Structure 1
């Protein structure tokens, strides 16, 4: 998220009605808004839309689903809001939540407001590498340590005992992502059905369940510099969080590390910066921190590639409909074949 103040803009970005938004907040949260609202789209996201919002005194981020074609259960505003509210004060840093509107009357879709957290999101390898190898490595280690802290949290202790159904989690995940592929499939994707079949045939037995982020990676955390150290100021994008198999988070982090910089820009290149821990180092650090067995992690890496291939197709579908905001969406369609091949290759090793 950018740290610079919002510039005055002639009109609100698509997806926002600032007058209706302000009227709603004045009724629902009197005293929250101090003046006229200004907003701009935060570039870089490929799923839910994020807007930097200010009244000249306060700064927030508003999140809402994408415009147009939306996959069922894939853009749950209430889920994001609930889990971030529950994690406040734990060892997992999250933005302060402000207000949730589960209806569609104000913006045409559910949305929520959270406090703006200053910091840097690293997607570009050269910018990240400029920190130096030592700092880059420390960021990678902090990324793993924060994930381990999330997986050590007792869901019941933070009011999330009923946040999901961990029994049969992997089986349901395979069905869910297959259904979402069918909902946004607009072209032939060689190999994706074979990948799904092999994942189904080799599905492992899950370890003890934990809180799962669902999309944990380097560019979903905000970094801050404190006393000469880089720390994670906030973990973002909780739309797919639930109770489930924690190794799905680890597999996704590894997949994003192994494929950094490929896939038409869908996988950011930052993890290629010198000093960033390699995938085996990330897995070893996580296993030592949590005591979890990662012997079958190749399956989880392949599953992560399958999920992201489905996400890429959803983005490609919306782009072809002209229902995306921001730049870079035209390249999403090139990512799915790369991800499918990576998943199949990884399973061969498994």
Structure 2
């Protein structure tokens, strides 16, 4: 739990609203990496994001990295939470933390059993959720990251070289089984790196789980959230990460099972990609490369969870998912028109 007395004193030092008034903290969400609390003080409301006491030490650096991104988004067209204040002095609350504006909206993660009204029955309105999702990263890709002081956030030079090499080494460290298709997909990725890579700001784990929407219709993004994987890299990997499992027939029963949310009634992959290209101004002719990379990388990431599953039924379920993803990556690599 947050030490509200120490936090209130620090907030007073920063000149934030509500000086002298009691500070209330309500836990919203969190896990092993971060915790989020809503803070209220008189009429002032914001949110604190802070690693729990037991989180790895490097999460303090990660929190400040997230803060830099949120600050950089101020003044851009990207829907985002407002940057309020940050603290790297662990003497205050034991960990680094930052405060951001409270978003009056809703998260798809809170509606896994069905979309909220009117998106539960109005399929035309539901389609807007997907287009807005695609638009979020399209706008993000247009941020002038150097002008925003993010020149040292990532290492864009050699980004694609490092993606394959880094995650291959990671897999070798955790490897306990062979995964069908991995050798094929890995070799293909090594031989088909993009020729016109344009660096940009990327989210790193872009999906419905990491955005919030404003209440009501038409669909409108309220904020992109959870910047743990944010970096300067290739924004088209965000796009591929978003659509790698997106079905083509959006009215089929498969669309209801392709994700943790019901995708029926939404635009298909081609329509989403077209919208991204229109808003971002980036060409998407080589999207197959990014789809192979997204499937391959996600398979490696989930394999770690599967290897640690033990008696955890959810993590055990990653096993066949990893196999399907890697097989799909290899099949796409072999079938794409520039696979020679």
Quote the Cα distance in structure 1 between the aligned partners of 2:84 and 2:270. 39
1:238 aligns with 2:224: no
Matched, 1:63 2:46: no
Q: Please give the alpha-carbon distance, in whole angstroms, between the structure 2 residues aligned to 1:67 and 1:316.
A: 26
Q: 1:241 to 1:302 in 2, by over 3 A?
A: same
Deviation at 1:82, TM superposition (A): 1.0
Checking the alignment, whether the CA contact within 8 Å between 1:95 and 1:117 is kept in structure 2 is yes
User: Is this contact kept in 1: 2:135–2:276, CA < 8 A?
Assistant: yes
Deviation at 1:118, TM superposition (A): 0.9
TM-score w.r.t. structure 2 length? 0.78
1:302 aligns with 2:289: no
1:207 aligns with 2:194: no
Deviation at 1:77, TM superposition (A): 1.2
Counterpart position of 1:345: 328
Structure 1 residue runs without a partner (length 5+): 1-11, 322-328
Deviation at 1:236, TM superposition (A): 0.9
Q: Is the 8 A contact 2:176 2:307 kept in 1?
A: no
Taking a change above 3 Å as real, the CA distance of residues 31 and 147 of structure 1, as seen in their structure-2 partners, is: closer
Structure 2 residue runs of 5 or longer lacking an equivalent are 248-253, 334-340
Confirm or deny that 1:280 pairs with 2:263.
no
Separation in structure 2 between the aligned mates of residue 319 and residue 71 of structure 1, nearest angstrom:
24
Structure 2: how far apart are the matches of 1:68 and 1:317?
22
Relative contact order (alpha carbons < 8 A, sep ≥ 6): 1 or 2 greater? 1
Change (3 A) 1:246 1:73: farther
After superposition, the C-alpha distances for 1:127-174 in whole angstroms (9 at most, x for unaligned) are: 255152111111211222232222223223433344333211112233
SS of equivalent residue, structure 1 residue 222: strand
Corresponding residue of 1:253: 242
Q: Deviations over 1:37-79 (max 9, x none)?
A: 3221426x78543233334643222223466464968971122
Residue matched to 1:38: 25
Are 1:80 and 2:66 an aligned pair? Answer: yes
Change beyond 3 A, Cα 1:261–1:240? farther
Give the TM-score of the pair, scaled to structure 1: 0.76
Distance 1:290 1:190 in 2: 35
- Structure 2 matches for 1:217-228, cutoff 5 A? 217-225=207-215, 228=217
Q: CA separation in 1, counterparts of 2:180 and 2:92? A: 42
Larger Rg: 2
> Taking structure 1 as reference, are residues 118 and 30 closer, same or farther at Cα in structure 2, changes over 3 Å only?
closer
Matching of residue 269 in structure 1 with residue 269 in structure 2: no
**Any conservation in 2 of the 1:53–1:62 contact (CA below 8 Å)?**
yes
Deviation at 1:257, TM superposition (A): 3.2
1:216 is displaced (CA, Å) by: 1.7
Q: 102, 107, 111: which one pairs with 2:88?
A: 102
- Superposed CA offset, 1:236-255 (max 9, x none): 11222222212111111112
8 A contact 1:142–1:232 mirrored in 2: yes
How far is the alpha carbon of 1:261 from its aligned partner? 7.1
- Pairwise CA distance, 1:120: 0.8
- 2:137 aligned with 1:127: no
